[in-house]
């Protein structure tokens, strides 16, 4: 039946029941609702979401937990989804007049095609509510009747018993708002209905039906304690960082490797603490409410504490099943889901993460010998890599995950886990859209994609305009909004720009999509791409490591080749007259003779290679620039942990952010510092001019130091406020903002200094002497930014969300934390025009026309003309955050 029948029977001027026509909610799994309806005859209304409506049945006596009891269910008209939230009185004389109260609601699933099962007359399904749980059946009766009649009955499972719907009425209202009494039975504090000893136990406060926990005949903690490397340890009630696989061309050979199927789903981490199950995505978002089926199944294991790693799948977990998984999670279909578990890290107070993987999996296999529904064990083979890879391909899986059987669990990406993918698909960040036409006029034509160049850079990868269904299109339009700029937010070659054409709208990397493509075109963009899926489980930051597929690697290689040919063309372009400023010193830079020893000057190889294609500046001119500004640059970075942006293929090529020392650097020093992951890394430290020039030889264009020194990394000696204007903000407003920030800091007793960023904005820098603890600095910077945004919300914003920034200035305080960096004064930027981050006196602010006003071409002359260093007084200034330290 259609919603037209529902509409025909009701006068919405008289009844408060929801009128059809509201858009279908997205992003939630299909729901069910059971309502107790005091109409002419008291009955229960049983409703299941199928598509954009609620399939509905009237069940006079309500559901029974006894599989032997089959309750008549009369099919009635479909109801709109909003009806699931309806409670109250339908006026007397209207259709269905009487009181409606919600008895139970939740999500539901079915392993088969729901509409096909309904047409056939037998629907098998599961309910995940507070009162109604487990497997159920709806079977159509063969008896002739004016309205189709079905039988509703319980499946024989761990929830089955002798409870009736009327036993579970605690908390449900009847006409007049009084509580229901049902048949006089109630739920005891132990949770079992009096007189109904058989069947499911009830949670006393809900009253919610829970499965009977499996009888624990095994001392799992004792078994775990026998594993090598095990230790007693309390498990935190929080997400943990997952171990990640590094992508390879083929699965590694050797008996020390075990090979698992690469399930095509979402990575899910599970914890049980004090018997409470919680589920987490790989980026630490809680998914417990979205996966009641998995949470219920894990609770049935009967463990007090545990930590699992696994994959959420639909169907068999193959590539063809991935769309089914997404459709289920978004509410488009009521598919059943499963949690395939491949690692066990903690059992009832015993941490086994240091035990060899082979031992951990053996214990997991024992634990899942008879798994509850929705749980599965991810089996493996040891050795036989080629045979396993061939079998995975034959069965429709994406590839293999190969793991060292003798290694512990190590968070983060490393070589102990390897990934081998067989299909040409990869993940990209969405960085823009093209205008929609025709049927897509209200949306967009295609998504613009980017691939990571390293830890910090992005380059254009192409656009995808096919593979979208209506639901995905609507979700993307809502998510992306209408913010953006005509200026590309990622590196793009002139050839790619011409092929793209006009009208593109660009923004910072916003979300992640997975795309299937037929290789890479000559200009370095995807050929015949098609959207495979949105990846809400990942963020653009997740793509900044080596987790790249074959399309991504080919795209990067092709882009490099395309840019090399583009650079040849730029050599023919006449250089700007201002570029001659750097030429005098260029000869000196090219005379450097040796880079294979720490003695003598650094030799700059390939001096004629064009580094800034739009401007024609060469590597020799970049080296000459840094040689010229070394007296000013070196004090800014010397002795500080340092990150650099390296651009081996020039400013418009594949640039990447580097913070760790690397092979080949013979002059640059390093310092071992603890990172957020609690591991340690060798950070770059430049102490002399030759160190800087060696980094320039290694194609470094930008220098980004910490706000602390290497010998005292936990003590900050400066605060940086980055004033970053959003679209449609005039630079005059940025100047005004810098002036206002300075005045507010003065009122707080803090002197500040001005710097252009070489981009759109300005930096306001506050020196600290003596240095302060990073945590205090972070709290102060955040509080200052948020206070400014709260006081003038029409001008300022303290969050980086791109769609909220048009017309406002983002007061970026995030550079004020241990390990965060800000561009150094006098550093070049890898942007067209070769702009420079320039420190200035506050008196120069009114005359400033742009954050990129100073460049490689005009900076040396500017430095020769200026009479004094505008930041000269910084070293003598003594100021701190004593007031805020006392407040803490």
Quote the Cα angle for 883-887-888, to 5°.
Answer: 120
pLDDT confidence bin for 347, thresholds 50/70/90: very high
Nearest CA-CA partner of 774 in 706, 721, 814, 715: 715
* pLDDT tens-digit series, residues 783-824: 999 999 999 999 999 987 766 778 899 999 988 999 899 999
What is the pTM assigned to this prediction? 0.53
Which stretch, 132-146, 268-282, 805-819, has highest mean pLDDT? 268-282
pLDDT of residue 628: 92
What value does the mean pLDDT take over residues 1-11?
84
3 state SS of 109: strand
* pLDDT tens-digit series, residues 29-51: 999 999 999 999 999 999 999 98
What value does the mean pLDDT take over residues 718-738?
94
Residue 1: is its pLDDT beyond 90? no
Minimum mean pLDDT range among 310-324, 568-582, 856-870: 568-582
- Active-site positions? 262
Residue 680: is its pLDDT beyond 80? no
Q: Which residues contact 366 (CB under 8 A, 6 or more apart)?
A: 218, 223
* pLDDT tens-digit series, residues 559-616: 444 334 333 333 332 333 323 323 333 333 333 323 334 446 788 988 988 999 988 9
Q: How far, CA to CA in Å, does 298 sit from each of 273, 344, 548, 844?
A: 12, 13, 32, 65
231-232/350-351 β-pairing: antiparallel
Please state, for a pLDDT cut of 90, what percent of the chain lies above it. 57
pLDDT of residue 214: 52
pLDDT of residue 201: 30
Whether residue 470 is preceded by a cis peptide bond, meaning omega within 30 degrees of 0, is no
Top pLDDT among 624 and 185 is at 624
Residue 202: is its pLDDT beyond 60? no
pLDDT confidence bin for 519, thresholds 50/70/90: low
- Ramachandran angles phi, psi of 473, nearest 5°: -60, -45
3 state SS of 171: coil
DSSP state of 521: -
Burial degree of 368 (CB within 10 A; 0-12, 13-18, 19+): middle
Q: How many whole angstroms separate alpha carbon 209 and alpha carbon 473?
A: 39
Q: Which residues contact 512 (CB under 8 A, 6 or more apart)?
A: 427, 428, 429, 430, 534, 535, 538, 539, 540, 542, 543
| 425, two tokens | 């698909």
Quote the Cα angle for 871-843-789, to 5°.
Answer: 85
Rg, the chain, Cα only: 32
Q: How many whole angstroms separate alpha carbon 865 and alpha carbon 532?
A: 58
753-756/276-281 β-pairing: unpaired
pLDDT of residue 483: 76
Top pLDDT among 496 and 556 is at 496
Residue 631: is its pLDDT beyond 80? yes
Q: How many whole angstroms separate alpha carbon 234 and alpha carbon 350?
A: 8
pLDDT of residue 606: 87
pLDDT of residue 436: 85
What value does the mean pLDDT take over residues 137-160?
90
Q: In sequence order, what DSSP letters do the residues of 367-407 get, joined into one string?
A: HTSSPPTTEEE---EES-HHHHHHHHHHTT--EEEEEETT-
Residue 23: is its pLDDT beyond 70? no
Q: Which residues contact 662 (CB under 8 A, 6 or more apart)?
A: none
Q: How far, CA to CA in Å, does 739 sit from each of 363, 722, 809?
A: 64, 13, 13
For the sheet with 753-756, list strands across it: 796-797, 809-812, 715-725, 762-773, 753-756, 839-840
pLDDT of residue 43: 96
What value does the mean pLDDT take over residues 614-626?
92
Residue 633: is its pLDDT beyond 50? yes
pLDDT of residue 212: 53
| 817, two tokens | 């934390």
pLDDT of residue 454: 57
pLDDT of residue 186: 36
Contact 674, 644 (CB under 8 A): no
* pLDDT tens-digit series, residues 65-80: 999 999 999 999 999 9
Which stretch, 24-28, 507-511, 550-554, has highest mean pLDDT? 507-511
Please state, for a pLDDT cut of 70, what percent of the chain lies above it. 85
Minimum mean pLDDT range among 144-158, 585-599, 738-752: 585-599
Task: Give 3-state DSSP helix, strand, coil % of the chain, rounded to 5.
Answer: 25, 30, 45
- Give the chain's mean pLDDT: 84
Name residue, tokens 């491949």.
Answer: 342
Minimum mean pLDDT range among 149-158, 413-422, 457-466, 653-662: 653-662
Contact 351, 231 (CB under 8 A): yes
Burial degree of 264 (CB within 10 A; 0-12, 13-18, 19+): buried
pLDDT of residue 396: 78
Neighbours of 119 (CB within 10 A): 11
Residue 548: is its pLDDT beyond 80? no
Q: DSSP strand E in 588-679: where?
A: 610-612, 617-618, 641-646, 656-658, 669-674
Q: Which residues contact 792 (CB under 8 A, 6 or more apart)?
A: none
Q: How many whole angstroms separate alpha carbon 723 and alpha carbon 764?
A: 8
Contact 138, 150 (CB under 8 A): yes
Residue 360: is its pLDDT beyond 80? yes
pLDDT of residue 547: 47
pLDDT confidence bin for 324, thresholds 50/70/90: confident
pLDDT of residue 591: 35
DSSP state of 129: S
Contact 207, 191 (CB under 8 A): yes
Contact 137, 157 (CB under 8 A): no
Domains in the chain with CATH codes: 3-210 (no CATH), 220-421 (3.30.470.30), 425-567 (2.40.50.140), 577-705 (3.90.920.10), 715-887 (3.90.920.10)
pLDDT of residue 13: 92
């Amino acid at each position: 039946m259609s919603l037209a029948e529902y509409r025909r029977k009701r006068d919405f001027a008289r009844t408060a029941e929801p009128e059809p026509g509201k858009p279908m909610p997205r992003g939630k799994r299909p729901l069910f609702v059971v309502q107790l309806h005091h109409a002419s005859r008291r009955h229960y209304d049983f409703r299941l979401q199928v598509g954009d409506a609620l399939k509905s049945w009237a069940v006079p006596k309500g559901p029974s937990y006894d599989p032997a009891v089959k309750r008549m269910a009369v099919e009635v008209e479909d109801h709109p989804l909003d009806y699931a939230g309806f409670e109250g009185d339908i006026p007397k004389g209207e259709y269905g007049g009487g009181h409606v109260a919600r008895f139970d609601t939740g999500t539901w699933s079915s392993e088969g095609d729901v509409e096909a099962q309904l047409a056939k007359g037998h629907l098998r399904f599961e309910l995940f509510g507070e009162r109604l749980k487990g497997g159920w059946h709806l079977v159509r009766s063969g008896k002739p009747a004016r309205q189709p009649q079905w039988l509703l009955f319980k499946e024989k499972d761990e929830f089955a018993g002798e409870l009736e719907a009327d036993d579970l009425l605690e908390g449900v209202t009847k006409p007049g708002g009084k509580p229901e009494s049902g048949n006089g039975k109630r739920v005891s504090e132990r949770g079992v209905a009096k007189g109904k000893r058989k069947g499911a136990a009830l949670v006393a406060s809900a009253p919610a039906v829970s499965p009977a926990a499996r009888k624990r005949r095994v001392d799992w903690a004792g078994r775990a304690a026998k594993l090598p490397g095990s230790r007693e340890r309390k498990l935190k009630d929080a997400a943990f960082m997952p171990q990640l696989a590094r992508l390879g061309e083929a699965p590694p050979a050797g008996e020390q490797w075990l090979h698992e199927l690469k399930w095509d789903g979402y990575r899910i981490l599970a914890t049980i603490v004090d018997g409470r199950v919680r589920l987490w995505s790989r980026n630490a978002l809680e998914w417990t409410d979205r996966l009641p089926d998995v949470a219920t199944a894990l609770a049935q294991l009967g463990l007090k504490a545990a930590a699992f790693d696994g994959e959420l799948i639909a169907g068999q977990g193959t590539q063809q099943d991935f769309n089914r998984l997404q459709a289920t999670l978004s509410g488009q279909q009521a598919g059943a889901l499963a949690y395939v578990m491949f690692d066990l890290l903690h059992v009832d107070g015993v941490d086994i993460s240091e035990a060899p993987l082979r031992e951990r999996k053996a214990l997991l296999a024992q634990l899942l010998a008879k798994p509850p529904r929705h749980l599965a064990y991810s089996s493996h083979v040891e050795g036989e890599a080629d045979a396993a890879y061939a079998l995975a391909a034959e069965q429709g899986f994406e590839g293999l995950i190969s793991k060292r059987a003798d290694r512990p669990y190590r968070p983060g990406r490393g070589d102990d886990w390897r990934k081998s993918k067989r299909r040409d698909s990869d993940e990209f960040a969405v960085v823009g859209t093209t205008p929609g036409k025709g049927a897509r006029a209200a949306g967009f034509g295609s998504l613009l994609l980017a691939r990571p160049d390293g830890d910090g850079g992005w380059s254009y990868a192409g656009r995808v305009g096919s593979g979208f269904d209506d639901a995905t299109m609507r979700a993307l339009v809502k998510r992306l909004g209408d913010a953006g700029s005509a200026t590309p937010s990622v590196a793009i070659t002139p050839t790619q720009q011409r092929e793209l054409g006009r009208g593109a709208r660009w923004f910072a990397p916003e979300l992640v999509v997975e795309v299937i493509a037929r290789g890479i075109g000559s200009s370095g963009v995807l050929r015949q791409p098609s959207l495979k899926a949105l990846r809400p489980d990942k963020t653009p930051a997740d793509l900044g490591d080596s987790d790249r597929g074959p399309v991504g690697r080919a795209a990067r290689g092709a882009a490099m080749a395309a840019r090399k040919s583009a650079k040849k063309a730029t050599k023919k372009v006449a250089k700007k007259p201002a570029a001659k400023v750097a030429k005098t010193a260029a000869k000196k830079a090219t005379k450097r003779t040796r880079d294979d020893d720490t003695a003598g000057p650094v030799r700059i190889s390939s001096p004629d290679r064009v580094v800034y294609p739009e401007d024609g500046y060469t590597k020799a001119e970049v080296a000459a620039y840094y040689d010229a500004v070394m007296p000013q640059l070196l004090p800014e970075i010397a002795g500080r942990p340092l990150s650099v942006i390296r651009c081996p293929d020039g400013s418009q090529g594949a640039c990447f952010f580097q913070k760790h020392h690397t092979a080949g650097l013979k002059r640059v020093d390093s310092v071992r510092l603890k990172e957020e992951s609690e591991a340690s890394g060798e950070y770059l430290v430049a102490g002399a001019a030759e160190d800087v020039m060696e980094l320039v030889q290694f194609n470094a264009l930008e220098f980004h130091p910490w706000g602390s020194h290497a010998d005292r990394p936990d003590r900050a000696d400066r605060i940086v406020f980055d004033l970053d204007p959003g679209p449609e903000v005039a630079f005059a407003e940025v100047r005004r903002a810098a002036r206002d920030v300075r005045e507010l800091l003065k009122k707080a007793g803090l002197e500040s200094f001005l710097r252009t960023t070489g981009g759109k904005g300005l930096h306001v820098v506050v020196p600290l002497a003596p240095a302060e603890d990073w945590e205090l600095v972070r709290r102060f910077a955040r509080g200052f930014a948020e206070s400014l945004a709260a006081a003038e919300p029409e001008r300022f914003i303290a969050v980086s969300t791109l769609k909220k920034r048009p017309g406002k200035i983002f007061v970026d305080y995030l550079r004020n934390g241990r390990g965060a960096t800000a561009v150094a004064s006098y550093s070049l930027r890898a942007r067209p025009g070769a702009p420079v981050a320039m420190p200035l006196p506050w008196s120069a602010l009114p005359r400033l026309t742009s954050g990129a006003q100073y460049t490689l071409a005009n900076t040396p002359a500017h430095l020769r003309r200026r009479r004094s260093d505008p930041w000269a007084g910084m070293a003598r200034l003594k100021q701190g955050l004593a007031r805020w330290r006392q407040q803490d």
